[in-house]
Amino acid sequence: MASRSALLLGFFASRHAGSYRGVCEDLADRLTDAGWQIVTASGFRNRPLRMLDMLVTLWRARSRYAVAYIEVFSGLGFYQAEISAVLLRRLNKPYVLALHGGNLPEFARAQPDRVRRLLASAAAVTAPSDYLRAALRALRDDILLVPNALDLDAYTFRPRIVPTPTLIWLRAMHAIYNPTLAIRVVARLRHDFPDLHLWMVGPDKGDGTLEAVQAAITAHGVEAQVTIVGGVPKSAVPTWMNKGDLFISTTDFDNTPVSVIEAMASGACVVSTNVGGVPALVRDGVQGLLVPPDDADAMSAAVTRILTEPGLAESLSRAAHQHASSFDWALVLRQWDDLLLRVQDASA
């Protein structure tokens, strides 16, 4: 067995056209470059097949890893992590739980005993935001903060000194991200800003949301103001972030959205709903403007402020970029390397 070896269990989605690389995929590559022997699972989009592949890999590769990393989400994602943890305990393999998802606190409130048992069973538990760590602290009080990371060198910072009414929306087309709110915002702003344009970037998740967005575009008559791009490779995200001067995040639930960090790294002015961990990520009025969820009037007013208030755009842009520097992989990788090695050595 290699001196440093780990199994990473998560959704390795990038093999599917239009899907973004997840945190676990970037972490696997970074750890490999740092000298770790890494085993991964799984790339199956179908949840039952993904679960089966995780368990089969976990068992068959048991001689090739000393410590495991498990992504933990709410709903079916939680049960997936729970089953994986059971088998790892049977193999006497220590594991680290990486908490994700803005809906996990609500899931924990509904099933506190179940979540507490899983968290207690791990050698360590991490959260990418103070929001998520605080929300689950009652179930385990030593949750570690390890933020989501970016390769900041891939993002070109362009301060938005005199912003244009070009908006970027970048998420998966899924109901929880409420993309139809973006269409309602465009409908309210197009008369005040004739050059307004919204680029919507993200893969279709197949739950009917894309069709709802298309219907909303037609209903509001904003076909000329909205372009649906679809999914793009992760490598293309920095380019798309720099096509716009404002980034709008319309989500109803979230934790620490990587897309918002990417926008900040690029210098785009962020307007986001104030849900989940977003207020812990974006300081309202300093690094972006926050509005209530599903409030088209409030979001439209925030966009208008950035486009018309002298100096506001540049101030938000520069402060956001400075804050994004704390999410650089060069810093975050050291935290993962130290944590996984400490857990591995403790079990030796």
Residue 313 and residue 178 in one domain: yes
Whether the CB-CB separation of 139 and 119 falls below 8 Å is answered with yes
pLDDT, position 233: 86
pLDDT, position 16: 54
Q: Using one digit for the tens of pLDDT, what is the confidence trace for 240-286?
A: 999 999 999 999 988 888 899 999 999 999 999 999 889 989 999 99
The encoded tokens of residue 112 equal: 């506190």
Residue 223 and residue 322 in one domain: yes
How far is Cα 280 from Cα 131, in angstroms, rounded to an integer?
A: 6
> CB neighbours of 139 closer than 8 A, spacing ≥ 6?
108, 112, 115, 116, 119
The domain in which residue 33 lies consists of 5-149+328-347
Residue 335 and residue 320 in one domain: no
pLDDT, position 1: 46
How far is Cα 66 from Cα 346, in angstroms, rounded to an integer?
A: 11
Residue 268 and residue 162 in one domain: yes
- Here the CATH number for the domain that contains residue 176 is 3.40.50.2000
Residue 164 and residue 102 in one domain: no
Residue 141 and residue 288 in one domain: no
Number of domains in the chain: 2
The overall pTM is greater than 0.85: no
Q: Which residues does the chain have with pLDDT short of 70?
A: 1-2, 14-21
pLDDT, position 96: 98
8-state DSSP, 152: G
pLDDT, position 62: 96
How far is Cα 62 from Cα 77, in angstroms, rounded to an integer?
A: 22
